[in-house]
Amino acid sequence: MIRKESTEGIGYSVVELNDTRHVLASAAPRQGGDLQAQAHDALKTIRAVIEEEGTQGAIVTQAVFMRDIGQIEACRRIISDFYGDQLPATIYIPQPPCEGKLLEIEALGVGGTGPVEIQRYSEQMVISRHDGVTWVHVVNISPDTAATGTYERSLDMLQRASRCLTAHGFSYDQVVRTWLYLGDIVGREGDTQRYKELNRARTDFYAGISFGADLTSPGWNRPVYPASTGIGAEGHDVVMSGMALASDRQDLVLLPLENPQQTSAFDYGHQFGPESPKFARAMAVVAGNLATIFVSGTASITRSETQFIGDVEGQTRQTLDNIAALIAEDNFRQHGMAGLGATLADLGLARVYIKRQEDYEKTKAVCQARFGDLPTVYAVADVCRPELLVEIEGIAFSRRRD
């Protein structure tokens, strides 16, 4: 179901889901030089993989991790010129790649023998249709307000994302995955913390939204929120990306997964903020006998308490244990979906956010021992609690067992 390849400068997974082929790749420049030279090196590497796997012209979304926030606009021009009218939905994330290059690129392409339709509206919006499912990639949404507070800017950003979806015939209650990047995430703002203000905005915006109302299992009575990552970034602003889906398939079900080892984030006590983070630990999109599992940003937390404080290797091991328990067959069974489930070997892609550059080699060694050849981006980013040193997210795939 998943084939993985890893060579110098490129790692990728090829996932066959019915008649659709998904290529998930991460590429770092293999040479030095200026931004243009490094960007073209990484872009050409990804294009070569996409062409080799028979999915030419089919990259629907990409994330570009940037060392220098001041080079984002220049990089945007380089990438726009490279792709022309085939430009994917692209977000530029001010998180320095741990490998030391000026940028690193993560890309998702779809193709295969079945019909795949891709509509490219802008660098912020690309829609793909295949296997009876419409996937909406809405990315690089930032606030457009004169307000300076994290709450006001975050709320405006979420409202802009909602309007973008509505303009194309979709709605925010169809969102299944979000990424929220916040500069100075654990910094103080007045008598509170910036991440807590982001959570307050998310809570207020989500009030009254019924996520997945028509796609969860009959009788589902637990909270439903998108899978999400809330992570730090360079600078002092907030930006987001999201994925929404629509489908008329009668066998498509959304399954929000919670971790048996962790308190649900939306049930955190007030010691972690006046409003809890509203997200699912993972969101499984189950279509027939196949499941795509979007794993939220996960850290070294059991119940609601941080584990292995000051020990980056211990935190990395605990984080991977948490992901393994979250996507396991037993957890799917506990959520009413027997026969599905995955292991770390079923991941097709991962991102590892590391608080301190000096912890990169230790963190990478632990991850590679568990991941193998998995395409993985390692980026320097602050995490949502001061004592957390690492956070990991990914996409896993499962086929129903008889």
Q: What is the pLDDT of residues 362-401, one digit of tens each?
A: 999 999 999 999 999 999 999 999 999 999 999 999 999 8
CB-neighbour burial class of residue 34 (10 A; exposed 0-12, middle 13-18, buried 19+): exposed
**0.95 surpassed by pTM:** yes
Within 10 Å of residue 147's Cβ, how many Cβ atoms?
A: 12
19 falls in which pLDDT band (50, 70, 90)?
confident
Q: What is the pLDDT of residues 228-263, one digit of tens each?
A: 999 999 999 999 999 999 999 999 999 999 999 999
What are the distances in angstroms from CA 33 to CA 68, 96, 97, 263, 363?
Answer: 15, 16, 16, 47, 27
Counting residues of the chain whose pLDDT is more than 90, the rounded percentage is 90
DSSP 253-268: EEEEE--TTB--GGG-
pLDDT for res 54: 77
**Would you state the structure tokens that stand for residue 162, as one six-digit string?**
């909602």
Domains of the chain, by residue range, sit at 1-116
Q: What is the pLDDT of residues 306-339, one digit of tens each?
A: 999 999 999 999 999 999 999 999 999 999 999 9
pLDDT for res 402: 67
| Domain over 1-116 is classified CATH 3.40.50.720 | no
Residue with the bigger pLDDT between 113 and 191: it is 191
